[in-house]
Amino acid sequence: MVVAPYVTAWSAEQDLQCTLVERPDGSIGYAKELLSDRDSHGVLWRQTGLRHQVGRPEFARVHPLRQRRAMELSLCQVCGGPADINDDGVLWLLRDFRGDWPGWPEGMASTEPPVCLACVPVALRSCPALQRGAVTVRVRHCPIVGVRGVIYRRGTLTPTAVTADNFGYDDPLVGRVLASALVRELRGCRDAVLSGVPGIMRA
């Protein structure tokens, strides 16, 4: 049986056909837009079909709505249940990039939701990227600070995609972003001491 994380998109969950248009305020929108197409900050989101566990899991793709839900509600990215939290903070399982800067992952912008204790060994066994090196981290403060998505410039007929990046909600360009993931900033990070989890590397 294939173990697919809760946030993984499935082959039956393709992007919906939505026409992008320019809005009078300089932002982008859909030609036929619903209130649910935007988040509480007014940012436009990519619309993807909801057919969870239909077809085959596509591990390289994350489903925008489930990622957003997991981030907003602090759900485990693997099982979709509540993430683990204690007095030291919320539990995150991250690729090991401690060489990126002193104190990593303090201040890191993460699009990966947290995890629960039971799913740590599952993720370590099933994710090739984590097998190359992973750390468990407790995070005391993890505010939602923005989105990851594609920014669009003005085109001849319709807005034209430029590049994907992270954008803070205070960025004046965020109104031209088609979001696909929420971003939390990890603050107050410390090592998560887990017993009985083989292969984990300490932060």
The whole-angstrom separation of Cα 184 and Cα 1 is 32
- State the pLDDT at residue 132: 83
Q: For 178, phi and psi rounded to 5 degrees?
A: -100, 105
What's the confidence (pLDDT) of residue 203? 41
Do the beta carbons of residue 14 and residue 63 sit within 8 Å?
A: no
Phi/psi at 188 (5° precision): 70, 45
Closest residue by Cα to residue 160 from 4, 28, 16, 9: 28
| pLDDT < 70 regions, the chain | 1-2, 193-203
**Can you give the pLDDT at residue 125?**
83
CA 115, 121, 122, 127 torsion-angle sign: positive
